[in-house]
């Protein structure tokens, strides 16, 4: 089978004279460069995934160039159409929009970066959330302790566990308290970093993992025990009260007076009839009473 080969003298795009949207190309080129930089930063910060704290500058650049393309209504193509219309409306698919939506949704939004920091691409302002800032400060304290132990030449597992257990417990407890709080949440950076930090502490340094919230666990056990004892006591108390009530009812019925008047006669007649029936059933048949054959 012979492969087909096309030798075209020019690309399908053609020279500049054929490109009616050439005035709009700078917007596309600027966005393309910004999107490329953000993608490269995300890939380099993927092990572990920490794009929120590592790539926020590239993200703001990409968003700035995308916003510029959306507001390119003062630049026109050769057909006197605004560049905004050319890039977002004139064709069946807007690659600029598709690329931006995909990168923002798949990387930035899915990583929950808004839980770590807030960005303003117009003013280039970045503000970390309190949870993220505190977590990073505790993380730096722990890493600094590890670094000091390493530089002192005492980088043994037991030495590391003893020397740096306090900053690790502080970091771990802070993360755990926010992790179990339904009103708090982390971005993917914090979760990934804590996961790697825990693996480093356990698997590499061979240090024991502190149990978070020991006091809270003790309080929970005490509360559950108290609830169990209370339910048991209520059950037995209810059973005792029910038994006493039935006993009083039996005593009350045994002390009822014998009926008088017409009801007494009716009751007596009924008892007499019952006794006659009993006597009739109890009398055995004699030989004289047997019918002759």
The CA distance from 188 to 27, in Å, is: 32
Q: pLDDT tens digits for 8-51?
A: 555 666 666 678 999 999 999 999 999 999 999 999 999 999 99
Rounded mean pLDDT, 200-226 = 68
Averaged pLDDT for residues 75-85: 96
Counts of helices then strands in the chain (DSSP H, E): 11, 2
Residue from 137, 210, 133 nearest 176 by CA: 210
* DSSP calls for 254-293: HTPPPP-THHHHHHHHHHHHHHHHHHHHHSPPPTTTSPP-
pLDDT tens digits along 168-180? 999 999 999 999 9
Q: Considering the chain, what percentage of its residues have pLDDT values greater than 90?
A: 60
The pLDDT of residue 254 is above 80: no
Kindly state the average pLDDT of the residues 81-93: 95
DSSP state of 45: T
Query: CA 183 to CA 80: how far, in whole Å?
Result: 52
Q: Alpha-carbon torsion 82, 88, 94, 96, what sign?
A: positive
pTM: 0.67
- CA atoms of 259 and 265, how far apart (whole Å): 9
109-134: average pLDDT: 96
Nearest alpha carbon to residue 174 among 138, 217, 142: 138
pLDDT of residue 65 exceeding 80, the answer is yes
Q: What are the angstrom distances between the C-alpha of 59 and each of 54, 127, 131, 188, 189?
A: 10, 14, 21, 16, 15
Average pLDDT in the chain? 81
Cβ–Cβ under 8 Å, residues 201 and 157: no
């Amino acid at each position: 089978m012979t492969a087909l080969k096309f030798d075209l003298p020019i690309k399908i795009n053609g020279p500049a004279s054929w490109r009616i949207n050439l005035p709009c190309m700078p917007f596309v080129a600027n966005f393309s460069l910004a999107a490329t930089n953000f993608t490269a930063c995300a890939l380099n910060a993927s092990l572990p995934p920490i794009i929120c704290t590592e790539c926020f500058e590239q993200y703001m650049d990409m968003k700035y160039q995308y916003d510029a393309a959306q507001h390119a209504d003062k630049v026109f193509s050769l057909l006197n159409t605004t560049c905004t219309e050319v890039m977002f409306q004139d064709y069946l698919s807007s690659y600029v929009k598709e690329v931006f939506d995909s990168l923002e949704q798949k990387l930035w939004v899915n990583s929950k970066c808004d839980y770590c920091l807030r960005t303003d691409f117009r003013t280039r302002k970045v503000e970390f959330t309190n949870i993220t800032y505190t977590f990073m400060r505790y993380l730096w304290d722990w890493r600094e302790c590890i670094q000091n132990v390493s530089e002192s030449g005492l980088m043994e597992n037991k030495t590391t566990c003893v020397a740096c257990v306090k900053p690790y417990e502080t970091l771990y407890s802070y993360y755990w308290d926010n992790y179990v709080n339904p009103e708090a949440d982390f971005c993917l950076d914090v979760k990934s970093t804590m996961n790697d930090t825990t693996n480093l502490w356990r698997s590499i340094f061979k240090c024991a993992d502190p149990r978070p919230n020991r006091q809270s666990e003790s309080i929970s056990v005490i509360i559950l025990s108290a609830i169990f004892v209370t339910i048991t006591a209520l059950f037995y108390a209810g059973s005792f009260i029910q038994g006493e009530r039935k006993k009083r009812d039996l005593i009350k019925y045994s002390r009822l007076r014998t009926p008088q008047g017409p009801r007494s006669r009716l009751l007596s007649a009924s008892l007499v009839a019952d006794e006659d029936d009993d006597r009739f059933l109890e009398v055995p048949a004699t030989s004289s009473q047997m019918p002759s054959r």
